[in-house]
């Protein structure tokens, strides 16, 4: 009761949830750095976490922290406004030492929340949520670098992210030291030190986020995450999981073949296999074959199986098409480049 009814209790909850969120944001920044330095390792982490129970517990815990932090922020704002009545600080009357951020924590929090909604739609909803729902998506949820590719190839993404990062800088910079104050830490020397530590911490984390957004945007425009041969091998190894459910007892053997063969060979082989199965299914569902199928339940079952497999392979072919879409774009011609061939 003390935590929700008293002002000190509410501030304590804000401070505790805020501290956990600062740690999460810092951890997230380190994870993004992995995506830049070792993109294949990043995808392996995405695969390891996925929608497994430990990742789900972490996500639910995180959502709980965000929700409690937001609800308590609203409660404290209402409480403060009631206490002050109609007297609100105006720019001129603001007491000395009251920072701009401290007066605007709610607005800054709303901007961060708006950024978060866009961000979760771009990533979490297409990765973990897809896995939870068991939906067959065009891109396997473990291919984190492809979701970065998708998000950062949109012109508005870096703009929205930079706005979110600026709001997060102000919000975290103020929240960092004020959470210690809320917990009763009122030693002036230490508050001054904590302000400095908070400012450094926030600035390093946000500067890294900005740098990451720039690197991701450049790489996405160069289509690096689609073309990189190491990543392509890794995406290819995600295919067995995409078709596992639809290939029944044959899935294990096909999966092994895919894993053991190089990307180019699998891309070609899957296309041929999909064509073969599709034309077989088409033949079996021709008007002439319909009568035969009516009286032959085993054949009807076989047709159903072929259709399921053809659909499954169709998704894999679409995945390869997506990866290879930029492969055959013509290189600039020699004589289109000025002075490229001085002897001509």
The binding site for ligand HEM (CB under 6 A) comprises 25, 28, 32, 46, 49, 59, 62, 112, 116, 119, 123-124, 127-128, 144, 147-148, 161, 168, 209, 212-213, 216
Instruction: Show Cβ contacts of residue 323 under 8 Å, excluding neighbours closer than 6 positions.
Output: 226, 232, 235
Residues with Cβ within 8 Å of residue 277, at least 6 apart in sequence: 306, 309, 310, 313
Cβ-proximal residues to 134 (8 Å cutoff; 6+ apart), any chain: none
Q: Which is nearer to ligand HEM, 20 or 25 (CB)?
A: 25
Q: How far is the CB of 165 from ligand HEM (least distance, A)?
A: 6
- Which residue in 119, 99, 111 sits closest to 176, CA to CA? 99
- We find the least distance from the C-beta atom of residue 65 to ligand HEM, in angstroms, to be 9
Q: Which is nearer to ligand HEM, 25 or 40 (by Cβ)?
A: 25
- Which residue, 39 or 270, is less far from ligand HEM as judged by CB? 39
Q: How far is the CB of 195 from ligand HEM (least distance, A)?
A: 21
Rounded to a whole number of angstroms, the minimum distance from the CB of residue 111 to ligand HEM is 10
Q: Which of 100, 116, 115, 111 is nearest to 174 (CA)?
A: 100
Query: CB of residue 281 vs ligand HEM: minimum separation in angstroms?
Result: 35
Which of residues 113 and 299 has its CB atom nearest to ligand HEM in the complex?
113
Burial group, residue 127, by CB count within 10 angstroms (0-12, 13-18, 19+): buried
Please, which residue, 25 or 137, has the CB nearer to ligand HEM? 25
Do residues 312 and 242 lie in contact, with contact meaning Cβ atoms separated by under 8 Å? yes
> Which residue, 105 or 168, has its beta carbon nearer to ligand HEM?
168
Stated as kind and residue range, the H or E segment containing 60 is: helix 53-84
In the bound state, the residue with its beta carbon closest to ligand HEM is 59
Strands (E), the chain: none
Shortest separation between residue 216's beta carbon and ligand HEM, angstroms: 6
Of 28 and 227, nearer to ligand HEM (C-beta) is 28
CB 27 within 8 A of CB 195: no
Distance between CA 131 and CA 124 in Å, rounded? 10
Q: What span, in angstroms and rounded, lies between the C-alpha atoms of 309 and 290?
A: 20
Both tokens of 30, joined, read 């380190």
Report, in Å, the least distance between residue 28 CB and ligand HEM: 5
Show the tokens assigned to 155.
């012109």
Please report how the helices 53-84 and 7-37 are oriented relative to each other, as an axis angle in degrees rounded to 10: 140
Rounded to a whole number of angstroms, the minimum distance from the CB of residue 335 to ligand HEM is 41
Q: Which is nearer to ligand HEM, 217 or 310 (CB)?
A: 217
Tokens standing for residue 61: 């815990």
């Amino acid at each position: 009761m003390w935590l929700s009814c008293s002002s000190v209790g509410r501030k304590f909850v804000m401070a505790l949830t805020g501290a956990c969120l600062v740690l999460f944001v810092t951890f997230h920044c380190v994870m993004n750095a992995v995506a830049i330095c070792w993109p294949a390792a990043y995808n392996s982490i995405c695969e390891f976490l996925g929608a497994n129970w430990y990742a789900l517990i972490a996500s639910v815990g995180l959502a709980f922290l965000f929700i409690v932090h937001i609800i308590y922020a609203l409660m404290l704002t209402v409480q403060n406004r009631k206490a002050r009545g109609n007297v609100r600080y105006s720019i001129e009357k603001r007491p000395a030492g009251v920072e701009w951020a401290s007066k605007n924590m709610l607005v800054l929090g709303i901007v961060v929340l708006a950024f978060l909604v866009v961000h979760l739609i771009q990533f979490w909803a297409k990765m973990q949520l897809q896995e939870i729902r068991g939906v067959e998506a065009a891109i396997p949820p473990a291919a984190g670098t492809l979701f970065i590719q998708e998000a950062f190839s949109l012109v508005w993404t870096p703009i929205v992210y930079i706005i979110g990062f600026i709001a997060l800088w102000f919000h975290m910079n103020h929240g960092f030291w004020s959470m210690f104050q809320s917990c009763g830490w009122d030693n002036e020397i230490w508050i001054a030190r904590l302000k400095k530590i908070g400012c450094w911490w926030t600035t390093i984390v946000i500067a890294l986020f900005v740098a990451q957004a720039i690197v991701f945007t450049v790489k996405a425009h160069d289509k690096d995450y689609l073309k990189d041969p190491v990543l392509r091998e890794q995406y290819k190894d995600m295919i067995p999981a995409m078709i596992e459910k639809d290939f029944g007892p044959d899935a294990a053997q096909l999966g092994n073949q895919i894993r053991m063969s190089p990307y180019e060979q699998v891309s070609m082989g899957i296309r041929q296999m999909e064509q073969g199965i599709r034309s077989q299914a088409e033949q079996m569902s021709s008007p002439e074959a319909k009568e035969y199928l009516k009286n032959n339940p085993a054949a009807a079952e076989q047709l159903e199986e072929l259709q399921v497999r053809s659909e499954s392979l169709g998704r894999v072919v679409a995945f390869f098409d997506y990866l290879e879409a930029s492969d055959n774009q013509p290189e600039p011609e020699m004589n289109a480049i000025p002075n490229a061939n001085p002897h001509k």
